[in-house]
Amino acid sequence: MKRLKLILGDQLNAKHSWYKARDSSTYFVMLELHQEADYVRHHIQKLLGFFAAMRAFANALETAGHQVIYLTLDDAAPEHSLTEQLERLINDYDISEFHYQAPDEYRLDKQLREWCENLNIPTTMVDTEHFLTPREAWQTYPMSRMEFFYRSLRKHYKVLLDEQGKPFGERWNFDTENRKKLPESKTIPEPLCFSKDVSDILAMIKRHQIVTIGYVDATHFIWPTTRQEARELLNFFLCHCLPEFGHYQDAMTSRGWSLYHSRLSFALNTKMLHPLDVIRRVENHWTEHQEQIDLAQVEGFIRQILGWREFVRALYWQHMPDYAQLNSLNADRNLPDFFWTGNTKMACVSHAINQSLEQAYAHHIQRLMITGNFGLLAGIHPDQMDQWYLGIYIDAIEWVEMPNTRGMSQYADGGIIASKPYAASGNYIQKMGHYCKPCHYDVKSKFGEMSCPFNSLYWHFLKRHEDSFRKNPRMSLAYKAWEKQSEEQQTAILKTADDYLHHLNDL
């Protein structure tokens, strides 16, 4: 009896129970697929990162004595889908059982589920043994707010709790201490970048004419593609970034591209790192360095992984497939061209997009409060926002990208994830970042040719969605501030916003 076990590109979990024993009747299969490489326009670094990490994982399995079938893009015709390739292998290797790990994307889950239903050999789907909650977490954990979900998990996994089960520092959340602007003079740690040569994979991608976005130096590829490198990145984070993580979590500056963020999302989302391993390492590191690192930094970081990451996954499985169609604000404008080029006079947007094209990375506040905020205020169709975010970031996989984009940043889910839209004027960007001084636009001006587009677009957004938000208590201050402005000023602001909306590509 021969078994075929499929490992998808984001299932690089070396600790999975599948690999505990070697077995001559089991073949592990890994496939580089056209269907995955071009279902969205990916950043070139994203494709290189996935393929390089998959190849390294396959080599490690072989070295450990497992039988691996690894097919590159060159080994199958472009039109052959995942399931067609699996069918061929089942015949060629005379396979009598098919096993796979639960895919994290609805799309792949459906494709494999439907295919398995018609397969004439037994099939088994197993857990990826990666997440800290099951797919159906929404049935058992409190989902009304991330905070309650997070607290349940803190209790369940006994994270940052004392012996009585109370949170360290007698608080669950230190968010209020974590919103500082970065001082102009503060030195930021130089990010740890790897320097691998992946030019052979780049040549293959070019040979297959896969359309990508962004730039890369393929002889110095910077992202971790092995578990060991991922752990090095974690160590670097613990020593150099964790002590200030929370303080500058929301800060923005063109002086650096990742500040005190961990850049672990790619390693986590490909499952090279396990979230609980990361959380325990952070806790232990803090225990050993309490005199240098305060609890707020540690709690702030753990909340992202134990709270947000698990929470958005639970929401995704609770609401898919309908979630992918939600457009509660009926946003219908096209994404401006500068999202693909970075060519805009808005200094903040230009920096966030150019950095994304260069590094396949932007930190959370750039994604949420710069590009996301712009899309929200301008009323860009959420499908187009989703496609952009899904393509451009090294860590973008739909289960985590979509709730963050369509939900948190675009409010297209009507408030499932966020209790109010993350809409902000230039004032917020100036408060948290260093972009405004050299910008073409004037952050202090609300209307007129040189006025910061975020200002008039913000008020236009509030005005056009008055029916949805006027009664939201968290928005009442904003509406009061609008009413305090003179009628002439309101008219001038709305006119400026209309002009900008008609010429988005010129901003």
Could you list the residues that contact ligand SF4 (CB under 6 A)?
A: 346-348, 426, 429-430, 435-436, 439, 441, 443, 452-454
Structure tokens at 96: 């009598």
User: How many C-beta atoms surround the C-beta of residue 506 within 10 A?
Assistant: 11
Q: Choose among ligand SF4, ligand FAD, none what residue 135 binds, the Cβ cut-off being 5 to 8 Å by kind.
A: none
Cα 127 to Cα 497: distance, rounded to the nearest angstrom: 49
For position 396 contacting ligand FAD by CB under 6 A, the verdict is yes
Q: Choose among ligand FAD, ligand SF4, none what residue 312 binds, the Cβ cut-off being 5 to 8 Å by kind.
A: ligand FAD
CB 393 within 8 A of CB 43: yes
Site string for ligand FAD, 374-393 (x = CB under 6 A): ---------------x---x
Binding range to ligand FAD, per CB under 6 A, among 2-10, 74-82, 170-178, 399-407: 399-407
Q: Choose among ligand SF4, ligand FAD, none what residue 416 binds, the Cβ cut-off being 5 to 8 Å by kind.
A: none
DSSP SS3 for 155: helix
Q: Which among 279, 257, 239, 274 has a CA at the least distance from the CA of 193?
A: 257
Kindly tell me which of 99 and 415 has the beta carbon lying closer to ligand FAD.
Answer: 415
Q: Choose among ligand FAD, ligand SF4, none what residue 452 binds, the Cβ cut-off being 5 to 8 Å by kind.
A: ligand SF4
Least distance CB 493 / ligand SF4 (angstroms): 14
Kindly tell me which of 265 and 455 has the beta carbon lying closer to ligand FAD.
Answer: 265
Q: What is the dihedral of CA 35, 39, 40, 43, to 10 degrees?
A: 0
- DSSP type of residue 161: B
Q: Choose among ligand FAD, ligand SF4, none what residue 123 binds, the Cβ cut-off being 5 to 8 Å by kind.
A: none
Kindly tell me which of 297 and 425 has the beta carbon lying closer to ligand SF4.
Answer: 425
Residue numbers 143-202 binding ligand FAD by CB under 6 A: none
Report the greatest alpha carbon distance in the chain: 80
Structure tokens at 80: 């052959």
Q: Choose among ligand SF4, ligand FAD, none what residue 264 binds, the Cβ cut-off being 5 to 8 Å by kind.
A: ligand FAD
CB 421 within 8 A of CB 466: no
Residue numbers 229-248 binding ligand FAD by CB under 6 A: none
Tokens 């970042």, residue?
433
Least distance CB 380 / ligand SF4 (angstroms): 16
Kindly tell me which of 35 and 371 has the beta carbon lying closer to ligand SF4.
Answer: 371
Residue 30: strand pairing partners: 70
List, as one string, the DSSP characters of 74-95: GGS-TT--HHHHHHHHHHHTT-
List, as one string, the DSSP characters of 52-68: HHHHHHHHHHHHTT-EE
Cα 478 to Cα 492: distance, rounded to the nearest angstrom: 18
Site string for ligand FAD, 288-307 (x = CB under 6 A): ----------------xx--
Structure tokens at 1: 């009896």
Among 55, 367, 446, 465, binds ligand FAD (CB under 6 A): 367
Least distance CB 458 / ligand SF4 (angstroms): 10
Binding range to ligand FAD, per CB under 6 A, among 106-114, 176-184, 367-375, 494-502: 367-375
Structure tokens at 43: 């950043």
Among 35, 226, 270, 409, binds ligand FAD (CB under 6 A): 409
Structure tokens at 225: 């593609």
CB 350 within 8 A of CB 171: no
CB 175 within 8 A of CB 165: no
Residue 43: strand pairing partners: 213
Kindly tell me which of 82 and 305 has the beta carbon lying closer to ligand FAD.
Answer: 305
For position 271 contacting ligand FAD by CB under 6 A, the verdict is no
For position 130 contacting ligand FAD by CB under 6 A, the verdict is no
Least distance CB 481 / ligand SF4 (angstroms): 17
Among 11, 262, 344, 456, binds ligand FAD (CB under 6 A): 262
| Amino acid code (one letter) for 501 | L
Binding range to ligand FAD, per CB under 6 A, among 153-161, 262-270, 329-337, 461-469: 262-270
Cα 77 to Cα 389: distance, rounded to the nearest angstrom: 28
Cα 143 to Cα 138: distance, rounded to the nearest angstrom: 6
Cα 254 to Cα 256: distance, rounded to the nearest angstrom: 5
For position 268 contacting ligand FAD by CB under 6 A, the verdict is yes
Binding range to ligand FAD, per CB under 6 A, among 77-85, 265-273, 436-444, 496-504: 265-273
Cis peptide before 122 (omega within 30 of 0): no
For position 373 contacting ligand FAD by CB under 6 A, the verdict is no
Q: Choose among ligand FAD, ligand SF4, none what residue 297 binds, the Cβ cut-off being 5 to 8 Å by kind.
A: none
Cα 359 to Cα 400: distance, rounded to the nearest angstrom: 19
Q: Choose among ligand FAD, ligand SF4, none what residue 380 binds, the Cβ cut-off being 5 to 8 Å by kind.
A: none
Least distance CB 260 / ligand FAD (angstroms): 8
Number of residues interacting with ligand FAD: please give it, by CB under 6 A. 27
Residue 370: strand pairing partners: none
Structure tokens at 192: 């740890």
Q: Which among 275, 12, 263 has a CA at the least distance from the CA of 150?
A: 275
**What residues make contact with ligand FAD under the rule CB under 6 A?**
261-265, 268-269, 304-305, 308-309, 312, 363-364, 367-368, 372, 389, 393, 395-396, 400-401, 404-405, 408-409
